[in-house]
Amino acid sequence: MKAVPLPRSSLDDYAPFVGFEAVEVLRAEASDLEGSRVLHISSTPYGGGVAELLYTIVPLMRDLGLDADWFVLDRDDDFFTVTKILHNALQGMGAEWVPEMTEKYFAVNEANAEAFLNDYEFVIVHDPQPAAIPMFLDRSSGRLGQWVWRCHLDLSAPVVEAWRFIEGLLDHYSAAVFTTAAYIPEDLGIPGFIIAPSIDPTSPKNIPLSLEIAASVVARYGVDPAKPYLLQVSRFDPWKDPIGVIEAYLLARAAIPDLQLVLIGSMAEDDPEGFYYFQKASRRAEGLDGVFLLTNAHGIGNVGVNAFQVAADVVLQKSIREGFGLTVSEALWKGKAVVAGNVGGIPLQVSDGTSGFLVDSVEECAEKVLLLLNDPGLRESFGRAGRETVRRGFLTTRHVLDYLHLFKSLGR
C-alpha cells in the first residue's frame, strides 16, 4: 500500500455554502475525536467517485484534528480484471468465476496486508477490492482498531455467490456502511450503517461558473452552445447504459432536429472495461451528427465537466444500476433538471416531478427530455428544487459529520 498525497483544506471554506452554524457543529462533534488515527483504503487514487470523495473528506478530517490518512493498493491490471467481475456480480451481472481469480484476489490483498501498520483506531475499507486485507493481519497485538467496510455499490440484487464471497470476509469487520437501507443484506452479520455520499461545493468541478465561460469551454470541443444539448457524465460501463442514452436521444431528436448529445466519461484505473464500452458507444454513435463522446483522454478535466454541466439544457443519468451517482448531485447543485434511472441511490437525490424525472425505459427517458426542453419554466423550477435538495443533504460537511457519528458509535 502507498499513501496518497493530499492538499490542505479548511472547513471555514464551506461556511458560505452550509452556514457558520453547521461548521461549528462539525468542530464541536470532532473535539471528542481529536488525535484519533483514521485510515481510508481504496483501490485507486483517481478516476472514480470513491477517489473524488476521499480527496475531500480526508483533508477535512485532518482540519478537524483527526490524524487521517488515505492509502491505495499496490496491484496490477490482472487484479482489476478480477475485481471488476466481482464488482459486476455484486450488482447483479453473472460471470464465470474460476479458482485462479480467487487466488489472484487473495494474493494481492495478502501482499498489501504485509505492508500494513496496525496503529489506526478506525480503518475504512472502500468497496470489494481491498476487502480481504484484515483477514491476513495479526490480531495478537490488540492494535487493529475498528475496521469498517464501506460499500459504494448497488447491492439490491447481487449474484448470490458474489455476496457470499464478500460476506465471508466481513467476520473481520466491526461494521459495514451502505448508501441506502435497500442495500443492506438481510443476513448481514455485523452492524450496518447508512451514509450517503456527497459532493464538494469548493472543488473545481462544482465552483460557480458563468454561463458565458461555460459556453466558451463547450464550444472548444465542437459542441454548439447556441443549440440545445443533453449531457450524461459517467463511466462508460453497462450499468450507465450509454447505448440506451443514445437511443433516447435519437427519439427526442426526431422532434427537435438540432438537439445535441454529449457523453463524458473518465477512464478509471480500476475499470478495465471502460475502453471496451467507450468503443461500443462510439460505434453506435458513428455517423450521427451532434453526438459527442469525450473522456479525460480528450483533455476533459474537472473544470471541463463543470462547464458542460452548467451549459447543458438537460442532464441525464440513465443508469440501470447505481450505487449513488455523484454526477446527479453535481447537476442538481448547478440548478439543472435531471432525467435519471429510477434505480439505486438516484431516488435519494431526485424527487420525481419536483427536481427531475425518474424513468424506467428509453421511451420514457425521451418523453421526459422533450417535456423539459419544451418548458423552460419547468426546468428552472426543477433546478431550484434540486439545488436546495443538495444543499440540505448532499454536501461534504454532512458526509464528514456522518463519519464522526459512526466513529463515536463504534468507540475509540
Residue closest to 314 by CA, chosen among 282, 342, 356: 356
Pull the grid cell for residue 221: 470541443
Strands (E), 113-172: 122-126, 146-150
Eight-state DSSP code of residue 352: B
Pull the grid cell for residue 85: 467481475
| 112/137 Cα distance (integer angstroms) | 10
| 51/289 Cα distance (integer angstroms) | 34
CB 72 within 8 A of CB 43: yes
Pull the grid cell for residue 182: 435497500
- State whether residue 263 is helix, strand or coil: strand
Predicted confidence at residue 296, as pLDDT, reads: 78
Residue that the C-alpha cell 496491484 belongs to: 75
CB 226 within 8 A of CB 323: no
CA dihedral sign, ordered 322, 255, 215, 393: negative
CB 193 within 8 A of CB 406: yes
CB atoms under 10 Å from CB of 54, counted, come to: 22
Pull the grid cell for residue 152: 459504494
Residue closest to 290 by CA, chosen among 258, 312, 313: 258
CA dihedral sign, ordered 286, 290, 294, 299: positive
Residue closest to 113 by CA, chosen among 129, 130, 136: 136
- State whether residue 63 is helix, strand or coil: helix
CB 6 within 8 A of CB 58: yes
pLDDT 10s per residue in the chain (412 long)?
899 999 999 999 999 999 999 999 999 999 999 999 999 999 989 878 899 999 999 999 999 999 999 999 998 888 988 998 999 999 998 777 778 889 999 999 999 999 887 789 999 999 999 999 999 997 765 567 899 999 999 999 999 999 999 999 999 999 999 999 999 999 899 999 999 999 999 999 999 999 999 999 999 999 999 999 999 999 888 889 999 999 999 999 999 999 999 999 877 665 667 778 888 888 998 989 999 999 877 889 999 999 999 999 999 999 999 999 999 999 999 999 999 999 999 999 999 999 999 999 999 999 999 999 999 999 999 999 999 999 999 999 999 999 999 999 998 6
Predicted confidence at residue 412, as pLDDT, reads: 64
Region 211-393: CATH code: 3.40.50.2000
Task: Kindly list the distances between the CA atom of residue 20 and the CA atoms of 16, 23, 24, in Å, as whole numbers in the listed order.
Answer: 8, 5, 6
Pull the grid cell for residue 395: 454536501
- State whether residue 51 is helix, strand or coil: helix
For the chain, state the CA radius of gyration.
21
Q: Where are the domains of the chain?
A: 2-198+395-410, 211-393
Region 2-198+395-410: CATH code: 3.40.50.2000
pTM above 0.75, yes or no: yes
User: Residue 42: enclosing H or E segment and its boundaries?
Assistant: strand 37-42
CB 169 within 8 A of CB 102: no
Contacts of 348 (CB under 8 A, 6+ apart): 179, 180, 196, 324
Pull the grid cell for residue 216: 466558451
Predicted confidence at residue 362, as pLDDT, reads: 97
Rounded to a whole number of angstroms, the distance between the first and last alpha carbons of the chain is: 24
User: Residue 50: enclosing H or E segment and its boundaries?
Assistant: helix 49-63
CB atoms under 10 Å from CB of 223, counted, come to: 22
CB atoms under 10 Å from CB of 130, counted, come to: 24
Matching CATH topology for 2-198+395-410 and 211-393?
A: yes
